[in-house]
């Protein structure tokens, strides 16, 4: 197996890959000790069984530039094939502002083709490639060198089997006329906004039971400070302080370092120095926030006037539709969306695009009393009224 450690060799492989219809791509990275993922290895493969048709690219060895790879990512004549691409794409976007196009995610395609919700790579290898993966190197520290032959073989399998999986799924999508379904899903993965973290919005990820404006203002300031500090130091946000400590701080409203010393959940390192100063400043900013600028909790779901009988009928319709089309139900709509539709809300993804063709149009007709559902044996049928 070939390991690329120079820019020249990477450029040569990428020039070769540019002559093919597609290239399969995967990465190995670490994120346990950093805010941003540390790229440790890139795996690439093109069609063929030759030794040079699948390679490992080692960014930790030598003076290697990934620019030839990024040029390949920009080449719209070559499909870039990933499995569960989001974290891989985030690495490339953060590093170089590049998102591979056109993009094909086999996990998304597998959901569309009836392989269940979030089908794992191992499952697709077993069901489509009819192979078994060697899992002994699954928990490798990919930043350590040298890599063993077993580790290299394990990493390379992530792109060699992917070739057959892609060809099978692409043919299946063409056969069932569902190519545009996957294309619509790729819009999210290829949108740069997917990979941009806005510190001022970080508070929305913190689970709290207190919805008072003053409390949420403190939560917002603390979460924003934590996000900025973690990004600037490239450390995990939980290394600054965890969510439970954040909620405790918003409740106790410390004003001095002595107050911080009484926290039950705050890490010792956060009770002094820059983090302590940042916490105290954030709490003060939250307390001083004018009422009009305080964040408002999203209570739309709680205020929905849901017709429970209609919501149940929508669930039955969704189950019938997904069984008929052989797709994962959650790919079309989750329980919250069904409740929103039953409450009269129409700005939901299940009523747009291919989802509307499969489910949304009939869901609206059901809500409007234009159709009914009936059971015939094990099948649910739609009856025009």
Domain limits of the chain?
A: 2-195, 199-293, 301-384
**106, 199 Cβ separation under 8 angstroms:** no
**Residue 302 predicted with pLDDT over 70:** no
Mean pLDDT of 41-59: 96
313-341: per-residue pLDDT in tens? 999 999 999 999 999 888 899 999 999 99
Q: Answer with the residue of higher pLDDT: 114 or 77.
A: 77
Q: Which of 23-32, 63-72, 135-144, 246-255 has the lowest mean pLDDT?
A: 135-144
Half-sphere exposure of 375 (CA within 13 A, CB side): 5
149-159: per-residue pLDDT in tens? 999 999 999 99
Give the pLDDT band (50/70/90) at residue 376.
confident
Closest to 306 (Cα-Cα) out of 274, 352, 340, 264: 340
What phi-psi label fits residue 177: left (phi over 0), alpha (psi between -120 and 50 degrees) or beta? Answer: left
Q: Which residues of 295-322 are buried (b: 16+ CB within 10 A; e: fewer)?
A: beeeeeeeebebbeebbebbbebbebbb
Closest to 27 (Cα-Cα) out of 104, 80, 91, 74: 91
Q: Answer with the residue of higher pLDDT: 302 or 271.
A: 271
How many whole angstroms separate alpha carbon 13 and alpha carbon 271?
Answer: 51
Domain 301-384 fold: DNA polymerase; domain 1 (1.10.150)
Mean pLDDT of 192-200: 95
Give the pLDDT band (50/70/90) at residue 177.
very high
59-84: per-residue pLDDT in tens? 998 789 999 999 999 999 999 999 99
Half-sphere exposure of 81 (CA within 13 A, CB side): 27
What phi-psi label fits residue 98: left (phi over 0), alpha (psi between -120 and 50 degrees) or beta? Answer: beta
**287, 253 Cβ separation under 8 angstroms:** yes
**Residue 297 predicted with pLDDT over 80:** no
How many whole angstroms separate alpha carbon 351 and alpha carbon 341?
Answer: 9
Give the pLDDT band (50/70/90) at residue 379.
confident
CATH top class, domain 199-293? mainly alpha
Task: Indicate the CATH number for domain 2-195.
Answer: 3.30.420.10
Mean pLDDT of 17-37: 96
How many whole angstroms separate alpha carbon 105 and alpha carbon 109?
Answer: 6
State the residue for tokens 């106790």: 252
Query: What does the pLDDT read at residue 296?
Result: 87
Topology agreement, domain 2-195 and domain 301-384: no
Taking all residues of the chain, what is their mean pLDDT, rounded to a whole number?
94
Among 3-7, 132-136, 371-375, which range has the highest average pLDDT? 3-7
Token output for 104: 């094909």
Query: What does the pLDDT read at residue 317?
Result: 96
Query: What does the pLDDT read at residue 301?
Result: 60
**3, 58 Cβ separation under 8 angstroms:** yes
Give the 3-state secondary structure of 38-80. Answer: EEEEEEEECCCCCHHHEEEECCCCCCCCCHHHHHHHHCCCCEE
Closest to 124 (Cα-Cα) out of 169, 186, 73: 169
Query: What does the pLDDT read at residue 270?
Result: 95
Q: Which residues lie below 8 Å from residue 181, measured CB to CB, with a gap of 6+?
A: 112, 173, 354
Per cent of the chain over pLDDT 90 is: 86
Query: What does the pLDDT read at residue 139?
Result: 83
A 10 A CB-CB count for 46 gives 22
Query: What does the pLDDT read at residue 299?
Result: 64
**143, 120 Cβ separation under 8 angstroms:** no
Q: What is the DSSP string of 231-260?
A: HHHT--HHHH--HHHHHHHHHH---SHHHH
In angstroms, the Cα distances linking 35 to 39, 164, 237 are 12, 34, 7
Q: Answer with the residue of higher pLDDT: 375 or 65.
A: 65
């Amino acid at each position: 197996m070939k390991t690329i450690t120079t820019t020249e060799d990477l450029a040569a492989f990428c020039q070769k890959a540019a002559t093919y219809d597609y290239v399969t791509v995967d990465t190995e990275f670490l994120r346990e000790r950093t805010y941003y993922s540390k790229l440790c290895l890139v795996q690439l493969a093109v069609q063929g069984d030759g030794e040079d048709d699948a390679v490992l690219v080692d960014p930790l060895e030598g003076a290697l530039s990934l620019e030839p790879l990024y040029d390949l990512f920009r080449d719209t004549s070559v499909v870039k094939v990933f499995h569960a691409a989001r974290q891989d794409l985030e690495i490339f976007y953060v590093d170089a502002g590049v998102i591979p196009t056109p993009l094909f995610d086999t996990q998304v395609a597998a959901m569309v083709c009836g392989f269940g919700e979030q089908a794992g790579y191992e499952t697709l290898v077993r069901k489509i490639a009819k192979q078994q993966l060697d899992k002994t190197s699954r928990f490798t520290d990919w930043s350590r060198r040298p890599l063993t032959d077993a580790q290299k073989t394990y990493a390379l399998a992530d792109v060699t089997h992917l070739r057959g999986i892609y060809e099978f799924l692409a043919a299946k999508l063409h056969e069932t006329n569902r190519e545009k379904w996957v294309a619509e899903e790729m819009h999210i993965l290829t949108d740069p906004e997917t990979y941009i973290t806005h510190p001022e919005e970080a508070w929305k990820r913190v689970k709290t039971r207190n919805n008072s404006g003053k409390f949420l203002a403190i939560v917002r300031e603390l979460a924003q400070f934590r996000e900025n500090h973690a990004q600037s130091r490239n450390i995990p946000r939980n290394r600054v302080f965890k969510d439970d400590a954040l909620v405790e701080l918003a409740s106790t409203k410390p004003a001095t370092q002595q107050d911080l010393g009484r926290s039950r959940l705050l890490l010792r390192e956060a009770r002094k120095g820059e983090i302590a100063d940042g916490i105290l400043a954030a709490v003060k900013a939250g307390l001083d926030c004018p009422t009009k600028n305080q964040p408002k909790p999203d209570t739309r779901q709680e205020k929905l006037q849901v017709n429970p009988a209609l919501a149940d009928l929508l669930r039955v319709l969704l189950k019938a539709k997904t069984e008929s089309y052989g797709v994962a139900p959650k790919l079309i709509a989750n329980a919250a969306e069904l409740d929103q539709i039953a409450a009269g809300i129409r700005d939901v993804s299940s009523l747009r695009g291919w989802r509307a063709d499969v489910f949304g149009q009939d869901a609206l007709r059901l809500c409007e009393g234009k159709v009914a559902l009936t059971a015939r044996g094990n099948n649910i049928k739609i009856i025009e009224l």
